[in-house]
């Protein structure tokens, strides 16, 4: 579940898209609809849900009625076996190619325990705190797998050949959201 502020929804959509990269089972809660209305901001929740490919519910946190609807949607999401097809962020062709080079090895290693596309991208970014958390979560260091390590090295070399180093890669990823 991702709670967004209706008065600055655009800024909050980055978090929504990041979350949807990790899991397809996301409920977007657009809160403060009363404040948005006071500021003449109108949000078409149905259209937003269609574009994102996940359920979107509007709330006014002070109103128990809207919270009841939110809880009903959350129950429906957690009990549903229907697969969702959330919006998938498309990166530049260079980044997409780098992901495609390494993802098969990552997917074999994590065996569905975590979204392999998202994880591959994060491994290419090389965030040390994520690597520690990942090792704790998976109870193994994924980078000790030689196929994963080699595929990531090849992907990073490809990115560098195309002018994408560390922070530049992170900037391009964020810009795509």
Residues in the chain: 177
- Rounded CA-CA distance 100/131 in Å is 20
User: Same structural domain for residues 14 and 65?
Assistant: yes
Point out which residues pair with 58 in neighbouring strands. 30
Distance CA 104, CA 125 (A): 17
Cβ–Cβ < 8 Å for 24, 94: no
pLDDT in tens, 72-117: 888 988 888 777 788 888 999 999 999 999 999 999 999 988 889 9
**Residue 27: Cβ within 10 Å count:** 20
Q: Is the pLDDT of residue 33 over 90?
A: yes
pTM of the model: 0.76
Q: Tell me whether residue 167 is in a domain.
A: yes
* Cβ–Cβ under 8 Å, residues 57 and 30: yes
Token digits for 5?
């502020």
Residue 14 lies in a domain: yes
pLDDT in tens, 106-158: 999 999 888 899 999 999 998 888 888 988 988 989 999 999 999 999 999 99
Q: Point out the domain boundary residue: 79, 108, 138.
A: 79
Q: Partners of 2 in the beta sheet?
A: 28
pLDDT beyond 70 at 177 = no
The whole domain housing 69 covers 2-79
Residues 116 and 154 in one domain: yes
Domains in the chain: how many in total? Answer: 2
The CATH number covering residue 7 comes to 3.40.50.300
- Domain identity same for 49 and 100: no
């Amino acid at each position: 579940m991702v709670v967004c502020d209706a008065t600055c929804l655009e800024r909050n959509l980055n978090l929504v898209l990041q979350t949807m990269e990790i899991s397809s089972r996301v409920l977007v809660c657009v809160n403060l609809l009363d404040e948005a209305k006071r500021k003449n901001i109108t949000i078409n929740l149905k259209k937003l849900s269609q574009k994102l490919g996940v359920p979107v519910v509007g709330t006014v946190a002070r109103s128990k009625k809207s919270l009841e609807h939110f809880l009903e949607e959350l129950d429906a999401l957690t009990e549903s076996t229907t697969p969702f097809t959330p919006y998938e962020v498309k990166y530049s062709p260079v980044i997409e190619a780098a992901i495609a080079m390494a993802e098969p090895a990552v997917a074999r290693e994590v065996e569905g325990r975590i979204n392999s596309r998202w994880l591959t991208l994060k491994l290419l970014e090389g965030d040390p705190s994520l690597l520690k958390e990942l090792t704790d979560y998976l109870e193994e260091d994924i980078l000790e797998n030689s196929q994963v390590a080699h595929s990531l090295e090849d992907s990073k070399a490809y990115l560098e050949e195309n002018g994408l180093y560390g922070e530049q890669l992170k900037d391009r990823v964020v810009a795509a959201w």
